[in-house]
C-alpha cells in the first residue's frame, strides 16, 4: 500500500487522511476549478497556469502570491504525470460539494488525457452521526479507515462524463452548465447538483447579485454587523453541502463594498476584510449597510 497516491481536496482533509495511517502519499489538490477566467478544459498549458495563479492571488486578496501559487500548480500536475508514467495506484477522496466536484471532474479529465484508465474513487456525501455533512474535514482520522473499503473503480463512463463536466466549468458556458445540472442518472451522481449550485452564483438580472452576495447582503440588513455573524447567518440560509469557506465569503463582502454605489460599508483597520491569514484580526471589523 505504500506506493498508493491518495488525491484529495483541502489541507485539513489531507492532514486527517495522512493521520489515518492508510499508507501511501497524500496529494492535496489546490485550485478553485469552478471559478475564474475561462480556460481550455483538461490538461492545462503554461498560459492557463499563469492565468490561474493570477486569479488565485486575487481571490485571496494577495494572501497567496502568484509565484507561489504557480509553483504549487506546476508541482501538482507534475506529480500527477509522474504517477501516470509509473502506473501508481490512485485513490481519489472527494466531497459531494461544488468545490470538490469541479475538482474531481478536472482531475479525472487530466488522468484521461494522460492515458490513465484505472483509479479508485471515494466520494463521501454523508457520514453517520454528522448532520449536516459538508465534507471530509468533519471526519476523524479513524473514519477514513472505515470508509476505505468502500472505494470503487472509476468506470470508463465516469471518465468520459468527467471530461464533459470539466468542459462546462472551464468554459463557464451557461448552456453547458444547465445541461449538466439537468442530467438524470449521471455517471458521477453528485455533479449535476454541483453545477446547479454554481448556476445560482450567476448575477440575478434584477439585482446583479449571485446567491452568496444576496445572502450576505440580507444578513447585514438583518443586523449582522461582524464577519462572524454574517458567516453564521449565510451558512444557515445556504444549502448543504457547503462548498464555500470564509475566504470566499469575505471576497463577496469586499465586492459588495467595492460596488458603485457600494452596497455595504466595511469599517476597521483596513478597507477590505482580510481574505488570508496574516492580516488584521476579523474581530476588529464592522459591517453595515451603505446608505449613501
With a cut of 80, say whether residue 127 has pLDDT above it.
yes
With a cut of 90, say whether residue 126 has pLDDT above it.
yes
**Which pLDDT band, with edges at 50, 70 and 90, does 37 fall under?**
very high
Q: Give the Cβ contact number of residue 216 at 10 Å.
A: 27
- For residue 112, give every residue at least 6 positions away whose Cβ sits within 8 Å of its Cβ, in sequence order, or none: 42, 159, 160, 162, 163
Which residues face 287 on adjacent strands? 266
How many structural domains comprise the chain? Answer: 2
Length of the chain: 292
* Domain coverage including residue 238: 211-289
Residues 272 and 276: their CA atoms lie apart, in Å, by: 11
Task: Kindly state the greatest CA–CA separation across the chain.
Answer: 62
Task: Say whether both 34 and 102 belong to one domain.
Answer: yes
Of 277, 273, 262, which is closest to residue 228 (Cα–Cα)? 273
Is residue 273 situated within a structural domain? Answer: yes
Which residues face 27 on adjacent strands? 7
With a cut of 70, say whether residue 36 has pLDDT above it.
yes
Is residue 205 situated within a structural domain? Answer: no
End-to-end CA gap in the chain: 62
At 69-108, the pLDDT tens digits run: 999 999 999 999 999 999 999 999 999 999 999 999 999 9
Task: Say whether both 111 and 160 belong to one domain.
Answer: yes
Task: Say whether both 148 and 238 belong to one domain.
Answer: no
Average confidence (pLDDT) over 54-59 = 93
Residue 173, C-alpha cell as written in the block = 458556458
Q: What is the pLDDT of residue 2?
A: 61
Task: Say whether both 26 and 161 belong to one domain.
Answer: yes
**Which pLDDT band, with edges at 50, 70 and 90, does 110 fall under?**
very high
With a cut of 60, say whether residue 1 has pLDDT above it.
no
Average confidence (pLDDT) over 182-208 = 97
Task: Say whether both 133 and 96 belong to one domain.
Answer: yes
Task: Say whether both 215 and 195 belong to one domain.
Answer: no
Average confidence (pLDDT) over 211-239 = 97
Task: Say whether both 189 and 48 belong to one domain.
Answer: yes
Task: Say whether both 129 and 19 belong to one domain.
Answer: yes
Is residue 206 situated within a structural domain? Answer: no
At 4-14, the pLDDT tens digits run: 999 999 999 99
Is residue 73 situated within a structural domain? Answer: yes
Residues 3 and 160: their CA atoms lie apart, in Å, by: 26
Is residue 204 situated within a structural domain? Answer: no
With a cut of 80, say whether residue 117 has pLDDT above it.
yes
Is residue 128 situated within a structural domain? Answer: yes
Burial zone of 253 (CB within 10 Å; 0-12 exposed, 13-18 middle, 19+ buried): buried
Q: What is the pLDDT of residue 122?
A: 98
Is residue 132 situated within a structural domain? Answer: yes
With a cut of 60, say whether residue 292 has pLDDT above it.
no
With a cut of 90, say whether residue 63 has pLDDT above it.
no
Task: Say whether both 175 and 266 belong to one domain.
Answer: no
Final residue in a domain of this structure, among 179, 199, 219: 199
- For residue 202, give every residue at least 6 positions away whose Cβ sits within 8 Å of its Cβ, in sequence order, or none: 174, 210
Query: What is the overall mean pLDDT for the chain?
Result: 96
| Cis before 215 (ω within 30) | no
Q: What is the pLDDT of residue 169?
A: 98
Average confidence (pLDDT) over 135-156 = 97
Task: Say whether both 160 and 191 belong to one domain.
Answer: yes
Task: Say whether both 34 and 179 belong to one domain.
Answer: yes
Q: What is the pLDDT of residue 43?
A: 98
What are the percentages of helix, strand and coil residues in the chain, rounded to 5?
A: 50, 10, 40
Amino acid at each position: 500500500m505504500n506506493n498508493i497516491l491518495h488525491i484529495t481536496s483541502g489541507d485539513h482533509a489531507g492532514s486527517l487522511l495522512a493521520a489515518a495511517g492508510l499508507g501511501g502519499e497524500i496529494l492535496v489538490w489546490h485550485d478553485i476549478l469552478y471559478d475564474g477566467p475561462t480556460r481550455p478544459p483538461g490538461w492545462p498549458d503554461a498560459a492557463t497556469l499563469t492565468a490561474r495563479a493570477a486569479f488565485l492571488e486575487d481571490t485571496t486578496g494577495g494572501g497567496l502570491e502568484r509565484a507561489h501559487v504557480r509553483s504549487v500548480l506546476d508541482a501538482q500536475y507534475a506529480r500527477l504525470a509522474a504517477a501516470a508514467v509509473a502506473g501508481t495506484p490512485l485513490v481519489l477522496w472527494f466531497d459531494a460539494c461544488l468545490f470538490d466536484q469541479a475538482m474531481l471532474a478536472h482531475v479525472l479529465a487530466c488522468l484521461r488525457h494522460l492515458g490513465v484508465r484505472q483509479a479508485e474513487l471515494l466520494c463521501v456525501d454523508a457520514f453517520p452521526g454528522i448532520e449536516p455533512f459538508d465534507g471530509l474535514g468533519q471526519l476523524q482520522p479513524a473514519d477514513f479507515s472505515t470508509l476505505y473499503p468502500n472505494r470503487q473503480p472509476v468506470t470508463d463512463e465516469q471518465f468520459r462524463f468527467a471530461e464533459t463536466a470539466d468542459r462546462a466549468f472551464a468554459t463557464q458556458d451557461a448552456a453547458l452548465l444547465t445541461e449538466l445540472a439537468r442530467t438524470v442518472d449521471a455517471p458521477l451522481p453528485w455533479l449535476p447538483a454541483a453545477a446547479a449550485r454554481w448556476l445560482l452564483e450567476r448575477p440575478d438580472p434584477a439585482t446583479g447579485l449571485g446567491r452568496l452576495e444576496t445572502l450576505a447582503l440580507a444578513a447585514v440588513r438583518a443586523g449582522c454587523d461582524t464577519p462572524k455573524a454574517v458567516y453564521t447567518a449565510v451558512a444557515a440560509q445556504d444549502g448543504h453541502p457547503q462548498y464555500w469557506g470564509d475566504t470566499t465569503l469575505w471576497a463577496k463582502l469586499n465586492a459588495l463594498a467595492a460596488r458603485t454605489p457600494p452596497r455595504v460599508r466595511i469599517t476597521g483597520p483596513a478597507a477590505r476584510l482580510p481574505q488570508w491569514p496574516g492580516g488584521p484580526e476579523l474581530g476588529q471589523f464592522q459591517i453595515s449597510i451603505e446608505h449613501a
